[in-house]
Structure 1
Amino acid sequence: MHFAQYYLDCLSQASYLIGDQTTGRAVLVDPRRDTDDYLQDAEAAGLRIELVIETHIHADFLSGHLEIARATGAAIAFGEAAETGFPIRRLRDGERIHLGEGDGEGVTLTVLATPGHTMESICLVIQEHPDDDVPFGVLTGDTLFVGDVGRPDLLSAAGHSPEEMAARLHRSLHTKLMVLPDATRVFPAHGAGSACGRSLSTETSSTIGDQRRLNYALQPMPEADFVRLVTAGQPATPGYFAHDAALNRDGHPLLDAGPPAALTLEEALAARDQQGAVLLDCRPLTSYTQVHLAGSLHTSLDTRFAEYAGTVVAPGTPIVLLAAPGAEREARVRLARIGYDHVIGHLADPAAVLADAQTPVRRSRRIHHTELPVEGGQLIDVRNPAEYQAGALPGARSIPLAVLPDRMGELDPARPVVLYCRSGNRSVIAAALLEAHGFGDVCDVLGGYEGVAAGAG
């Protein structure tokens, strides 16, 4: 058996290539949109990707099933409950996919229908030989993570309550996954940092036995207690999730990963004024805070760039990048991974432009925790709800970064706004967003809540 996990740190996303080396037949599971790594590795291993399987309709990234199908001729498969805008193979609960010479031979995948995170969610049990007593592993998608389980609230807009989906998730976990042998390896679709769950581990694999012992959501409890537990304190949902889910369900243009065009400052500003483009500064945080174009947004390539960009930039908005020289192509690909394809160019030689005395620039205002409170200020905590509930600065109001674009109207632009997060990254992103929308007196707390706590200690 050929088995490979591809883990993308910046989106906390995992995909998998599984093949039978005796036949060269292979399947690819939950691929990202830029597919060169899969295709090159399959060719090097003598494998033909015949099927691309999605464990569910993803919301946090744009999947590469259409790109793989175009490149290889592979069929696209989803769980039986999926409804898509393109032809798919529907995988039934209990169906076995044999990659060997014939039915009942070679590497085998068994489909488990596991609704709960979404209705069409599936898991895939992998056996190197069909009669193995202990499976090699199970691809658990967004049903089971290392240290957590999938969030059940993403389908609320489709008429499925979080409580209903959590009850389905409980049954899926205990009737489909927890009956597997303890030695079965667990390979999830996401790890720490993903908004698809609440407290995912940094580990990218585990075992059923370890999860049975250590995962808080798998401890013995009545279903009603499980429902209450997993519906509380979930991270705020980034604004691009609904956009990506629709593209993954209905279809999307194939990836164009070429470098964006170089623009002058005049062309960049014209794109902003005439086309409604946003100026997205993806340089390191310290470079941005020292000097940046007035009105530009910020999220650094050093962080969860695409996720934060999808939080502060509305889907479909034209984008002009301000990147360190040579980083503009990476920025474009990472935006494409969440379906943000409308990158119309990048600012040529941003350092020279920002150093020009004629360029409209700003410097971020950052304050030390000893300068709190700010007279007349609105103190805003942009961390996730669970972080806020675990401890917050006195007088702080919770508006998570993911929902700030929709809740800016709750703030008074005539009064100072003071922002903080855990360590100072999200607060700078939030400050840039408010500045770009006309807030004149905005600052953030250096070092965030951790810095305040350390200073107080």
Structure 2
Amino acid sequence: MNIEQIYTGCLAQGAYYITSNGEAAIIDPLREIQPYLDRLEKDGVKLKYIFETHFHADFVSGHLDLAKATGADIVFGPTAAPEFDCIVAEDEQIFEIGDVKIKVLHTPGHTMESSTFLLIDKDGKEEAIFSGDTLFLGDVGRPDLAQKAASMTQEELAGHLYDSLMTKIMPLSDDITVYPAHGAGSACGKNMMKETVDTLGNQKKVNYALNQPNKEAFIEAVTDGLLPPPAYFGANVAMNKKGYKNVDEVIKTGLTALSPKEFEAAAEGTGALILDTRNNGEFAQGFIPNSISIGINGDFAPWVGAMIGDVQQPLLLVTDDGMEEEVVIRLSRVGFDNVVGFLKGGFEAWKKEDREIDKVDRITPAEFETRFDVEKSKVFDVRKATEYEAEHVEEAFSRPLASLNDWIKDINPDEHFFMHCAGGYRSMIAASILQSRGYRNFTEIEGGMGKIAETKVPKTDYVCTSKTM
């Protein structure tokens, strides 16, 4: 028996590849399936089952294309009602893969079909659980994503989650390995550990949610501080439940190379949004007017989903040379399939034709230090609220990037403000969106709070905001 975690950092997502005696199973696969097919061929094994812990909200799974390519059966937990052929398992149903078994544990709460898969080795020993979004390391799945589908409040879903954990997970042996679907950085939880594998025994000790004194306290703890889910989540659930385009077709269309003239015509003719995926420093120095900056070297796909939201939005890409396919693939992972094409030759090709460009007013932290006046300067901090609470520039305003559409309407266009995040990635996203909507009376700070902290700009005292629930 072999278990391999295939972790994708930009999505903070874990898929799992299990082999035993010539057969294989894959749990929660990503949308691009070729790496799995290559691995199956290399190992000389046949894929028997594709297990889905639930209908994912934060990415599009590869279950449909993988099943079509291999003939494997797709397995969901009880109460699932997808619009395609699959096995909707019963609670405690057993599936055999070679010499091992996988037992379905129905664990509703995050969603009502959510299930945990218990791996039993050839000797009958319970070895591991693949806990999906039911149990994370340091946290549990948020109980607010399935409210419409389940016709329940988040408190009712949290109650189901408590029952699932207490009756199905907590009685299991401490030495069982926990393999969650997500790690730190995912929007599916709020307090995840940076580790991606742990023992159940340690989680029983350190996980705040598993250490609440009763059901009422659990519900209060897991529902406290939940931020609104990213805008694209509902669309991804629908795609995972109803079906989607073949990923190879999506990639082929997205890799349409366009000259600057063709690119401009496409932007005008399709209503496409121009997405610039270069480094934020390069973007600041020059970009196609009205472009949105979301760099590929960061939490790219989740921020595209959060800030653009509509997965049907046509997109035109500006990328670094050779990164076009990687960008299209990452977009497809979160359901953005409508990529019209990319700018052939990148931004340099646009500049060579002397076409119009725009820039962001960016300054260094040292220059910010000379210009900052605690009595007069207005500063917007676009980091998360918890980052702001830990330490911030004195008198700065907390304006989280994820809430930009809420606070943008309160901006006085006649009043200048400085803006920063932790390192420049998020503040450049905000800057590009603001400029695309006509707001230009601001200055963005290169390097963010990480570099501002090295200056003499007055800051609040650092406060640790780690959760200790």
| TM-score (normalizing by structure 2) | 0.89
Please give the alpha-carbon distance, in whole angstroms, between the structure 2 residues aligned to 1:274 and 1:383: 35
**Counterpart for residue 90 of structure 1:** 88
The answer (yes or no) to whether the contact 2:58–2:188 under 8 Å persists in 1 is: yes
Amino acid at match of 1:312: M
Change (3 A) 1:214 1:454: farther
When the two chains are superposed, the root-mean-square deviation of aligned CA atoms in Å is 2.2
Change (3 A) 1:326 1:235: same
Do structure 1's residue 161 and structure 2's residue 153 form an aligned pair?
yes
Please give the alpha-carbon distance, in whole angstroms, between the structure 1 residues aligned to 2:75 and 2:403: 33
Map Cα deviations across residues 243-282 of structure 1 (whole Å, 9 max, x no partner): 1111111111111233611112222222222211111111
**Counterpart for residue 213 of structure 2:** 221
Do structure 1's residue 322 and structure 2's residue 318 form an aligned pair?
yes
**Counterpart for residue 272 of structure 2:** 277
Map Cα deviations across residues 78-119 of structure 1 (whole Å, 9 max, x no partner): 11121222122111111111224xxxxx20111111111111
Amino acid at match of 1:57: F
Please give the alpha-carbon distance, in whole angstroms, between the structure 2 residues aligned to 1:138 and 1:196: 18
Do structure 1's residue 444 and structure 2's residue 426 form an aligned pair?
no
The answer (yes or no) to whether the contact 2:374–2:395 under 8 Å persists in 1 is: no
Aligned pair partner of 2:76 in 51, 75, 78: 78
The answer (yes or no) to whether the contact 1:235–1:386 under 8 Å persists in 2 is: no
Instruction: Give the C-alpha shift of residue 150 in structure 1.
Output: 1.1
Amino acid at match of 1:265: P
Instruction: Give the C-alpha shift of residue 377 in structure 1.
Output: 7.2
The answer (yes or no) to whether the contact 1:234–1:385 under 8 Å persists in 2 is: no
Map Cα deviations across residues 317-351 of structure 1 (whole Å, 9 max, x no partner): 11111111111111111111111111111111124
The share of aligned pairs that are identical, in percent, is 37
Please give the alpha-carbon distance, in whole angstroms, between the structure 2 residues aligned to 1:239 and 1:38: 29
**Counterpart for residue 344 of structure 2:** 348
Instruction: Give the C-alpha shift of residue 394 in structure 1.
Output: 4.6
**Counterpart for residue 260 of structure 2:** 265
Instruction: Give the C-alpha shift of residue 205 in structure 1.
Output: 0.4
**Counterpart for residue 152 of structure 1:** 143
Change (3 A) 1:75 1:374: farther
Aligned pair partner of 1:361 in 344, 357, 382: 357
Instruction: Give the C-alpha shift of residue 453 in structure 1.
Output: 4.0
The answer (yes or no) to whether the contact 1:12–1:192 under 8 Å persists in 2 is: yes
Counting only pairs closer than 5 Å after superposition, residues 180-219 of structure 1 correspond to structure 2 as: 180-219=172-211
Worse-superposed segment, 117-126 or 262-271: 262-271
Please give the alpha-carbon distance, in whole angstroms, between the structure 2 residues aligned to 1:14 and 1:170: 23
Aligned pair partner of 1:122 in 112, 115, 119: 115
Aligned pair partner of 1:51 in 49, 52, 55: 49
The answer (yes or no) to whether the contact 2:305–2:311 under 8 Å persists in 1 is: yes
**Counterpart for residue 435 of structure 2:** 435
Change (3 A) 1:374 1:35: farther
Please give the alpha-carbon distance, in whole angstroms, between the structure 2 residues aligned to 1:441 and 1:242: 35
Instruction: Give the C-alpha shift of residue 400 in structure 1.
Output: 3.0
Counting only pairs closer than 5 Å after superposition, residues 303-452 of structure 1 correspond to structure 2 as: 303-313=298-308, 314-356=310-352, 358-367=354-363, 368=365, 369-370=368-369, 371-372=371-372, 379-405=379-405, 408-452=408-452
Amino acid at match of 1:13: Q
The answer (yes or no) to whether the contact 2:311–2:337 under 8 Å persists in 1 is: no
Amino acid at match of 2:140: V
Instruction: Give the C-alpha shift of residue 74 in structure 1.
Output: 1.5
Instruction: Give the C-alpha shift of residue 444 in structure 1.
Output: 2.5
Instruction: Give the C-alpha shift of residue 37 in structure 1.
Output: 1.5
Name structure 2 gaps, 5 residues minimum: 460-469
Please give the alpha-carbon distance, in whole angstroms, between the structure 1 residues aligned to 2:374 and 2:279: 27
Do structure 1's residue 292 and structure 2's residue 287 form an aligned pair?
yes
**Counterpart for residue 138 of structure 1:** 129
Map Cα deviations across residues 418-446 of structure 1 (whole Å, 9 max, x no partner): 43323321111111111112212233233
Name structure 1 gaps, 5 residues minimum: 101-105
**Counterpart for residue 302 of structure 1:** 297
**Counterpart for residue 103 of structure 1:** none
The answer (yes or no) to whether the contact 2:209–2:222 under 8 Å persists in 1 is: yes
The answer (yes or no) to whether the contact 2:317–2:343 under 8 Å persists in 1 is: yes
Instruction: Give the C-alpha shift of residue 416 in structure 1.
Output: 3.3
The answer (yes or no) to whether the contact 2:257–2:342 under 8 Å persists in 1 is: yes
Please give the alpha-carbon distance, in whole angstroms, between the structure 2 residues aligned to 1:425 and 1:19: 40
| TM-score (normalizing by structure 1) | 0.91
Instruction: Give the C-alpha shift of residue 8 in structure 1.
Output: 0.7
Counting only pairs closer than 5 Å after superposition, residues 61-76 of structure 1 correspond to structure 2 as: 61-76=59-74
The answer (yes or no) to whether the contact 2:280–2:424 under 8 Å persists in 1 is: no
**Counterpart for residue 462 of structure 2:** none
Amino acid at match of 1:85: E
Report how many aligned residue pairs link the two structures. Answer: 448
